[in-house]
Amino acid sequence: MAGEYTKSEVALKGIGVSPGIVVFKALLLTPQTDKAVQRSITPEEVPLEIVRFEEALISTHDQIKHIQKQVSEVLGDEHASIFDAHILVVDDRTFIEDVIRSIKKELINVEPVLQTVANRYADMLAQVQDSYLSERAADIRDVTKRIMANLAGESLDQMKQIKEPCVVVAHDLSPSDTASIDKTNVKAFITDLGSSTSHTAIMAKALEVPAVVGLHNITAVASHGDTVLIDGAKGLVFVNPSEERIEEYRIKAAGQEQIISELAQLRDKPPETKDGYLVPITANIELLAELDGVDARGAKGIGLFRTEFLFLGSKSLPGEEEQLEAYVEAAKSQDPSPVVIRTLDLGADKLPAGFENPDELNPFLGDRAIRLCLSHPELFKTQLRAILRASVHENIRIMYPMVSCVQEVMDANTLLRQCMMELSKSGIAFNQDIQIGTMIEVPSAALIADIIAPHVSFFSLGTNDLIQYTMAVDRGNENVAHLYKPTHMAIIRLIDYVVKVSQKNGLWTCVCGQMAASPQLVPLLIGLGVDELSVSPSQAPVIKDVIRKLYYSDAVELAQKALNSSSSEHVQQLCYDLIEKIAPEVFEISG
């Protein structure tokens, strides 16, 4: 029609992390990076910009006070006093006025101005030959980061306030940003960064929000208000799709829904192969809200409760009572099936306020998970006590994350025993025989599984990290996602070794990494001798479908061929061929 302009369709392929086909308008979020994006403003916008700054300062002040209180309760006043210096920075009128003057003068948004002024102050202080003053430079950088985060956080508030369904388009979303998504309006999200086992992807699956990540430049391609079509299973995104494309996907979506509703019928059927071999399916959960979905999707029990999300969601440290309540709720909901509570797997990539260590250059190799818990025994013991108290519900088990040497298991067990003694003295009940397990997700732990075995009752293979650490491939980095290979011979050999050790020692082995939730890889894991698969509840039906269509003898044969292979691609092909033969519908609903 004359005068009407139609934008042409742009197709992008990313990494599909949460299935579902949707078409909605795009809502673009301001990138939440540390680098400030510069935007010109008009003189009329200056007061608004100053209000944004002042509000971010107030939030920052309140947060620091809150963190200080929390840290003082958990770690003592000595640690909490470092936050006095942070308060001084956030209340410093000279600094604040300097930022406001520059906004007025340069007519640009607050973020780049704040960064420039803060860098100037920090650089000046860093050069002073006085250790007290030069340390203040680090305080200024810390506080600036926090103010920037509060300024950026507005975009998330803006997301929560939207009144119409939309697709969120963002440079990146942190796991806690994803956890706070309001599903009524956020129908899907797509991001420049991210990969299939990033924690943001895990949250998307947990919330069952279709998502495609690792698109590299979607924030540059899509504009606010563009129509966006997403196929979350295949990782496809169409910006301004044509009428024909929308129709094509309407038919595909109907087909997917049909398959999903057929799989839902498996809910009460046992996860048993055609030749009668049982492979229990348990659930990975991050939020208590997911508990209802476990039984509803046909899983039994929790194979992995990622308790760090209790911390991330609340922006503060939940105390013993609050944790106890959460664990009891999980235990009651699954009774008599087991609930494996993993102790905090916090690291610099997902630390709660007050525990960040901005100096860590390589947080995935840093002070995280069991290391952080052992270096903060009060924090750890609070959690251990809560788990022990909850263990009067005897289905509760405990599991340590990111173990890399046997001493960590022994030290954690020592603290656990200390907590048991303290509880006994106070006459508080708990399960003396609580089962203890450890994640096997660091190659060194896999290779000394025989040395760790006498200290635990079960292993849980965290393949997300096991692959990351074995192959030296950042699990969250889309630029190296092609090197992240679950079927790499090194991974297959490590799994094989751990399972053999486990069987020899009479232990139980679960896989709780994403490999267990990949239908194409399930026969391989079963053939390697894994006892249990723990997957996000939404994946349970398709995994059960595969198990029920599989002969255990075929799985064993597949695993033997894989162990004798010399190429990751060959193993992957063997896995895909088997699924093509027994359960081809799987390819319609997963990537």
Sites of contact with ligand PEP (CB under 6 A)? 304, 306, 345, 441, 462-465, 512-513
| Residue 546 touches which member of Mg ion, ligand PEP, none, C-beta under 5-8 Å by kind | none
Q: Cβ closer to Mg ion: 154 or 474?
A: 474
Least distance to ligand PEP, CB of residue 103, Å = 41
Least distance to Mg ion, CB of residue 535, Å = 15
Only one residue has tokens 């107030």, namely 58
- With b meaning 16 or more CB within 10 Å and e meaning fewer, what string describes 132-161? eeeebbbbbbbbbbbbbbbbbeebbeebee
Nearest to 523 by CA among 561, 470, 565: 561
Least distance to ligand PEP, CB of residue 246, Å = 35
The catalytically annotated residue of 166, 510, 512, 575 is 512
Q: Cβ closer to ligand PEP: 195 or 590?
A: 195
- The residue count for the chain: 591
Max CA-CA distance within the chain?
A: 85
Q: Which residues contact 479 (CB under 8 A, 6 or more apart)?
A: none
The verdict on 462 binding Mg ion (CB under 5 A) reads: yes
Least distance to Mg ion, CB of residue 306, Å = 9
Q: Cβ closer to ligand PEP: 323 or 464?
A: 464
Nearest to 175 by CA among 63, 52, 308, 74: 308
Q: Cβ closer to Mg ion: 192 or 308?
A: 308
Residue closest to Mg ion, measured at CB? 465
Among 465, 478, 532, 545, binds Mg ion (CB under 5 A): 465
Interaction pattern, residues 437-456, with Mg ion; x per rule: CB under 5 A: ----x---------------
Is position 376 annotated as part of the catalytic site?
A: no
Q: Which residues pair with 285 in a beta bridge?
A: 305
| Residue 502 touches which member of Mg ion, ligand PEP, none, C-beta under 5-8 Å by kind | none
Quickly count: other Cβ atoms within 10 Å of residue 125's Cβ: 18
Q: Which residues pair with 168 in a beta bridge?
A: 27, 189
The verdict on 308 binding Mg ion (CB under 5 A) reads: no
Is position 199 annotated as part of the catalytic site?
A: yes
Pairing of strands 227-231, 236-239: antiparallel
Q: Cβ closer to ligand PEP: 26 or 473?
A: 473
Q: Cβ closer to Mg ion: 57 or 466?
A: 466
| Residue 512 touches which member of Mg ion, ligand PEP, none, C-beta under 5-8 Å by kind | ligand PEP
Is the Cβ–Cβ distance between 549 and 580 less than 8 Å? no
Least distance to ligand PEP, CB of residue 14, Å = 20
Distance of CA 269 to the CA centre of its chain: 30
| Residue 513 touches which member of Mg ion, ligand PEP, none, C-beta under 5-8 Å by kind | ligand PEP
- What CA–CA distance (Å, rounded) separates 498 from 488? 16
The verdict on 172 binding Mg ion (CB under 5 A) reads: no
Q: Which residues contact 407 (CB under 8 A, 6 or more apart)?
A: none
| Residue 49 touches which member of Mg ion, ligand PEP, none, C-beta under 5-8 Å by kind | none
Least distance to ligand PEP, CB of residue 355, Å = 17
Q: Cβ closer to ligand PEP: 89 or 339?
A: 339
- What CA–CA distance (Å, rounded) separates 549 from 266? 12
The verdict on 286 binding Mg ion (CB under 5 A) reads: no
- With b meaning 16 or more CB within 10 Å and e meaning fewer, what string describes 434-461? bbbbbbbbbbebbebbeebbeebbbbbb
- What CA–CA distance (Å, rounded) separates 430 from 365? 34
Is the Cβ–Cβ distance between 468 and 474 less than 8 Å? yes
3-state secondary structure of 231: strand
DSSP for 130-172 reads -HHHHHHHHHHHHHHHHHHHHHHHHHHHHHHT--S-EEEEES-
- Structure letter (DSSP) for residue 583: -
Least distance to ligand PEP, CB of residue 197, Å = 6
| Residue 467 touches which member of ligand PEP, Mg ion, none, C-beta under 5-8 Å by kind | none
The catalytically annotated residue of 86, 171, 199, 376 is 199
| Residue 70 touches which member of ligand PEP, Mg ion, none, C-beta under 5-8 Å by kind | none
Stretch that binds Mg ion, among 83-91, 185-193, 433-441, 472-480 (CB under 5 A): 433-441
- With b meaning 16 or more CB within 10 Å and e meaning fewer, what string describes 509-525? bbbbbbbbbbbbbbbbb
Q: Cβ closer to ligand PEP: 142 or 345?
A: 345
Stretch that binds Mg ion, among 158-166, 194-202, 464-472, 547-555 (CB under 5 A): 464-472
| Residue 192 touches which member of Mg ion, ligand PEP, none, C-beta under 5-8 Å by kind | none
Least distance to ligand PEP, CB of residue 441, Å = 5
Q: Which residues are catalytic?
A: 199, 512
User: Which residues form the interface with Mg ion (CB under 5 A)?
Assistant: 441, 462, 465
